[in-house]
Amino acid sequence: MAAIRAMTIASNSTCSLLTKSPFLLRQKPLAYSLCLKNLKLRCPSSRRSYTCRAIYNPEVQVKEEGQPETLDYRVFFVDKSGKKVSPWHDVPLQLGTDVFNFIVEIPKESDAKMEVATDEPFTPIKQDTKKGKLRYYPYNINWNYGLLPQTWEDPSHANSEVEGAFGDNDPVDVVEIGETRRKIGEVVKVKPLAALAMIDEGELDWKIVAISLDDPKASFVNDVDDVEKHFPGTLTAIRDWFRDYKIPDGKPPNKFGLGNKPANKDYALKVIAETNESWNKLVKRSIPAGELSLV
């Protein structure tokens, strides 16, 4: 794992992938293999396992522990030798010019609030909890949702462009608008299109709007204006969904900076670069990690 970590920190222009079974299938724990070489996803007819190839050679497996929708459910990632690796720290961020790895935490049209456990060793994916109970959104999320690896929103940094809000201490979130419903733990090649500066209880929580490179409309959508042209109403729907999803719990709506409008692709790339630099400082221990796991 140390060798993998060293390579990913040294260069974020590489690629790696992982996959996982559909959460809503309520399947028993499974194991998934990954061979990191070639960037080709090969999915057999079985829905129980898949392989993918990227430019690294070591084989990586994705394994579940516990049962879905229980407090002890976790999705871990291990290398060929059986050592655990972190989807947040060990999956490279960038694949090439303006192309990034996106780790799916929540498939579209589902409501279980899954997330990478940033405070647990090897940061597995788990279902979020509140007061000891599993968390669900009040209604389904309409897009694939997850994170950009090797990014971090620094809670000690006040963003002067977004009302001086401090980072939320998490990786950067991605809202992927393609037509395919992805799977928990799947790693998807995406290109950013826009950025929404959500302010959640005073904390800055970026939402990068992106599209998978294998989506039928991907070649036509390259910036924020293209999203409105080919996915009319989607940017407004994303903003409104994240603005309002806490209201049923009795909380006020979230706010958005940058004039309540989505920023363009160049701004999204700037956010990604800045939060990647913050992550680099975090893993090099130039910034205190607090309760975050760096393993």
Chain centroid, CA 93 distance in Å: 10
Q: What is the pLDDT along the chain (295 residues), one digit of tens a residue?
A: 433 443 333 333 333 333 333 333 333 333 333 333 333 333 333 322 223 333 333 356 788 999 999 999 999 988 778 889 999 999 999 999 999 999 999 999 999 999 999 999 999 999 999 999 999 999 999 999 999 999 999 999 999 999 999 999 999 999 999 999 999 988 899 999 999 999 999 999 999 999 999 999 999 999 999 999 999 999 999 999 999 999 999 999 999 999 999 999 999 999 999 999 999 999 999 999 999 999 9
- Contacts of 202 by beta carbon, 8 Å cutoff, 6+ apart: 165, 166
Nearest-angstrom CA–CA distance, 293 and 74: 15
Sign, CA torsion 93/152/89/196: negative
Q: Which of 50, 73, 137, 267 is catalytic?
A: 137
Confidence (pLDDT) at 8:
39
* pLDDT at 60 (0 to 100): 60
Residue 137 is among the residues annotated as catalytic for this protein = yes
pLDDT of residue 61: 73
CA gap 193, 292 in Å, rounded: 29
pLDDT of residue 135: 97
- Enter the tokens of residue 195: 């950025």
Q: What's the 3-state SS for 114-138?
A: EEECCCCCCCCEEECEECCEECEEE
Output the six-digit token pair for 146: 């997850």
**Mutual angle of helices 265-283 and 2-10, in 10-degree steps:** 140
DSSP letter at 294 equals -
Percent of residues in the chain assigned helix, strand, coil, to nearest 5:
20, 35, 50
